[in-house]
Structure 1
């Protein structure tokens, strides 16, 4: 009798586990749980089959353990149903999206205040089965995209991914490079501040995507990793007369999958550890040549390398994070000689870092309020390759920005934000910001 009750309790626990899994488990964890449930169910069915065989005429009386298995028939059948339902959940087509609208008012130039529909994104994820999926995201920036407007329409992601085995998957297509915090998690509900931080936009060109192949793995000890071979940057796009390179060196030469030059491919790798509740530490690196063997181009051997380290501690209401990123572009001296007289030659190094603290001060069933403060320091032209005296451009000082503000969340999908940003080097950029965003 006790064994019978124990068997039913185990099966009941399996059923409960299957029912609540989608509420808290990641996709990989959910798939592992399904496979575990299936294995447990197979064991129960095998035991049940053995019990029935022994109950056939001419066989010995069933033993106690087999009676327990027989008593669990309705429960095991229920587990089977739960598994099938979970598998069906993973084969659905899901529509997602996010968007944000921002108002900015310079402190000393109120006549330059402006409002911008920064972006609207629609995503589609379709699971062909429990192991294979397609992911696509389509983005519109600045409200209107046309030849005479500043707006842009773009494919942000478009790839297929297949799970080779639990904890190991491969993908191909156009996907986000796994670097820093924001490049792969940049919905307005996922970061503090009305605008994305400068380090992860000026140094890391969020949102940064490349076309190619990638592999990802996760392990029970909290370690996860990514490796990939993709397209890279195109230095032939550099415009020394434009300010684009000063705003973001890599943002000025990224290709975004648009007829991307691919003679020179790039490698990337990322490693993260989440072995302690609330703690994340990790880093990533990306490197590849950017000249692509272009005829008569002075920097075919130029190599772009970007690496970063990051950490976050979020044990409860407290949320602390820090990130350092550094990029280099080698072998640019000859190219910069062709840019003499222009204000923005190619930098040999650019870097930045920030620290951020936030605290959830109030929360009820529908709303939450989180004040935050962030200090960041960055330089998009930290140094230049040596050129003859008098022909070069001096490197600039680091810009230092402090941002403090509030995030007011309505449920989990809507956020209203406000902040004030103070610039150390160029205080004409000091500004008040107000924004609203959503993600689903």
Structure 2
């Protein structure tokens, strides 16, 4: 109908100008061609689906060259995103991941569903999502595509203290409290330390091993997470997250094993210069038999200055410390220094190289080089 109406107008215009001179007639013919092309475009747009399915994804391969004999190359992860806007107010998003290239019996990898949720806009300032979603904690847990951070491997604090990548099933409300200020409140499934091999939570096995990944997960005890995030100043992000879980043993122990997590971070970027700083700490009931080897307190921090020399090249340095047995009197902390470079082949495709040196309890423990390639789309 749009095409017929527009063409009708063009014909009427043409008929009214029959007496015009040759130059004017040529201009009118050109205008008719442009109007016809516009009508075709409008007709094609009206025929396209209003709410199509969209896809995306990311992937990364690493070469780890330690000073020893355990060098390794690994296609660490390949991820696909699938989403759909059902209406202007209701949408779906999902993330499916293959880790370490091969999954199955006796293979090193896993196939994991990391996100699958429905989000609803309650109003202009409030959204509610329900399903399986990433925890609103730390810098990398929600945004970890390889082109968005420095270093081949993710930092050790957001791997051993915050168990990135960390997802749970439940419901989360996100509200805009003011310009640049958002609040997230979530009730969701929790960790399960009772599933550890020896049935106890110790300082050697970090809380990372307690993730249930919403796979027939024990749900006797829920967990609760709240985050406040400030982004009103261009280039600046400040955030504070707190989480509490009644019982890390999910009712399997003689006593409840309560746990709380506090995390704070700052990210700043301006004219190529950037800095990231993060601190995270777990406090776990220490008078319960199921906690040993100082695991009642686990903490870590890192600071990472960087400089984007131009659109292609950026360099960084990172100093980090983490301790999964900080509740004991023994010297159990680990420290690591990383220095490296990112080279962006395109806006979302990157080559990476870095060198690291790690110490445990003040003594040298490891060093080596990493090379990587990553992308997102």
Give the distance between the partners of 1:359 and 1:246, measured in 2 at CA.
36
Give the distance between the partners of 1:410 and 1:248, measured in 2 at CA.
38
Paired position in structure 1 for 2:64:
104
Note closer, same or farther for the CA distance 1:89–1:352 as it changes in structure 2 (3 Å cut): farther
Note closer, same or farther for the CA distance 1:353–1:274 as it changes in structure 2 (3 Å cut): same
Paired position in structure 2 for 1:239:
197
Give the distance between the partners of 2:263 and 2:278, measured in 1 at CA.
7
Give the distance between the partners of 2:343 and 2:49, measured in 1 at CA.
32
Matches within 5 A, 1:21-60: none
Give the distance between the partners of 1:427 and 1:331, measured in 2 at CA.
30
Q: 1:255 pairs with 205, 208, 212, which one?
A: 212
Counterpart check, 1:298 vs 2:258: no
Paired position in structure 2 for 1:284:
241
Q: How many residues align?
A: 332
Give the distance between the partners of 2:357 and 2:103, measured in 1 at CA.
31
Aligned-residue offset at 1:304: 1.9
Counterpart check, 1:358 vs 2:312: no
Give SS of 1:197's match: coil
TM-score for both structures, normalised by structure 1 = 0.71
Give the distance between the partners of 2:50 and 2:88, measured in 1 at CA.
6
Counterpart check, 1:376 vs 2:308: no
Q: Tell me if structure 2 keeps the 8 A contact 1:327–1:349.
A: yes
Paired position in structure 2 for 1:269:
226
Q: 1:196 pairs with 154, 159, 163, which one?
A: 154
Give the distance between the partners of 1:248 and 1:260, measured in 2 at CA.
19
Q: Indicate the RMSD between aligned Cα atoms, in angstroms.
A: 2.4
Q: 1:398 pairs with 319, 322, 333, which one?
A: 333
Paired position in structure 1 for 2:270:
315
Matches within 5 A, 1:70-109: 91-107=51-67, 109=68
Gaps of 5+ in 1: 1-80, 337-343, 385-393
Give SS of 1:171's match: strand
Aligned-residue offset at 1:219: 4.6
Give the distance between the partners of 1:305 and 1:96, measured in 2 at CA.
34
Note closer, same or farther for the CA distance 1:255–1:346 as it changes in structure 2 (3 Å cut): farther
1:323-381 residue CA offsets vs partner (Å, 9 max, x unmatched) = 00001221553224xxxxxxx75710100001111111122xxxx10000010111111
Give the distance between the partners of 2:204 and 2:319, measured in 1 at CA.
19
The worse-fitting range, judged by mean Cα deviation, of 353-362 and 248-257 is 248-257
Give the distance between the partners of 2:333 and 2:305, measured in 1 at CA.
22
Paired position in structure 2 for 1:182:
140
Note closer, same or farther for the CA distance 1:306–1:202 as it changes in structure 2 (3 Å cut): same
Q: 2:84 pairs with 115, 126, 145, which one?
A: 126
Give SS of 1:146's match: coil
Give the distance between the partners of 1:335 and 1:353, measured in 2 at CA.
26
1:74-130 residue CA offsets vs partner (Å, 9 max, x unmatched) = xxxxxxx99xx8xx99833110111100001112x1x32110110011110111011
Give the distance between the partners of 2:285 and 2:108, measured in 1 at CA.
32
Q: Tell me if structure 1 keeps the 8 A contact 2:272–2:310.
A: no
Q: Tell me if structure 1 keeps the 8 A contact 2:284–2:297.
A: yes
Note closer, same or farther for the CA distance 1:245–1:371 as it changes in structure 2 (3 Å cut): farther
Q: Tell me if structure 2 keeps the 8 A contact 1:90–1:130.
A: no
Aligned-residue offset at 1:314: 0.6
Q: Tell me if structure 1 keeps the 8 A contact 2:257–2:288.
A: no
The worse-fitting range, judged by mean Cα deviation, of 170-179 and 213-222 is 213-222
1:246-286 residue CA offsets vs partner (Å, 9 max, x unmatched) = 56522111111011111211110000111211111111011
Aligned-residue offset at 1:292: 2.5
Moved over 4 A (4+): 244-248
1:366-416 residue CA offsets vs partner (Å, 9 max, x unmatched) = xx10000010111111115xxxxxxxxx64432111100000112211010
Paired position in structure 2 for 1:325:
280
1:171-218 residue CA offsets vs partner (Å, 9 max, x unmatched) = 111100000100000111111100000000000000000100110022
Paired position in structure 2 for 1:148:
106
Paired position in structure 2 for 1:159:
117
